């Protein structure tokens, strides 16, 4: 009986793991971790490159095709700027993208959200966003993970990401599994 129980538990975990890998994961090099801004060298001596990770749910009517982050200094403050390219399968009237930032050790730094309430027709589109950035965050930020959080379809139906699947994808990347809520997004 004990062997049978172990067998069932093993099968259950295997099936669960197979479904937990639902998100398609794309990794892209973004920019050098060591950089200069306003004459100040940050992360000097590091050979690391920032990485942009795209998580795409195959069931989503919107797929992320590329994402890059830029750090700037504007109006006496640091800014994170994001440029994201998407592929839209059907007409939608709103979209929320989320980006989770991590440090060099896979620890969560912060969540950023980009909400676009406008019509998108099927095809390719580009969206962008800018957020204020803390100096402590810009010097630690190494990895961004971007995913589609919510979509409003033309008929009013809402598509929402699967939190369990997202956590499983983050776990597979050895990243801290903190997704955040709407209060810390924008």
Q: What is the pLDDT of residue 7?
A: 45
Handedness of CA 170, 179, 54, 74 (dihedral sign): negative
Q: Give the whole-angstrom CA distance, residue 19 versus residue 13.
A: 10
| pLDDT lower than 50: segments of the chain | 4-21, 182-186
Q: What is the pLDDT of residue 16?
A: 44
Q: Hey, what are 146's tokens? A: 């971007």
CATH 2.70.50 assigned to 23-184: yes
Domain boundaries, the chain: 23-184
Side-chain-side CA neighbours of 102 within 13 Å: the count stands at 21
Q: What is the pLDDT of residue 38?
A: 81
State residue 80 phi and psi, 5-degree precision.
-100, 130
Residues 6+ apart with CB under 8 A from 166: 23, 55, 147, 179
* SS3 (DSSP) at 136: helix
Q: Could you read off the pLDDT of 47-69 as tens digits, one per residue?
A: 999 999 999 999 999 999 999 99
């Amino acid at each position: 009986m004990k062997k049978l129980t172990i067998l069932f538990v093993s099968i259950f975990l295997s099936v669960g793991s197979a479904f937990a890998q639902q998100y398609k994961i794309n990794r892209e090099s973004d920019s050098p971790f060591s950089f200069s801004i306003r004459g100040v060298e940050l992360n000097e001596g590091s050979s690391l490159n920032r990485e942009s990770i795209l998580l795409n749910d195959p069931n989503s009517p919107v797929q992320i095709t590329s994402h890059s982050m830029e750090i700037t200094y504007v109006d006496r403050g640091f800014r994170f700027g994001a440029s994201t390219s998407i592929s839209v399968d059907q007409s939608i009237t709103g979209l929320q993208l989320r980006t989770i930032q991590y440090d060099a050790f896979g620890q969560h730094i912060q969540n950023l959200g980009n909400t676009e309430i406008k019509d998108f027709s099927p095809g390719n589109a580009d969206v962008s966003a800018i957020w204020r950035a803390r100096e402590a965050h810009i010097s630690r930020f190494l990895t961004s993970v971007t995913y589609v959080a919510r979509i409003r379809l033309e008929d009013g139906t809402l598509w929402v990401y699967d939190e369990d699947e997202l956590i499983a994808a983050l776990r597979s990347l050895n990243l801290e599994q903190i997704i955040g809520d709407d209060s810390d997004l924008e």
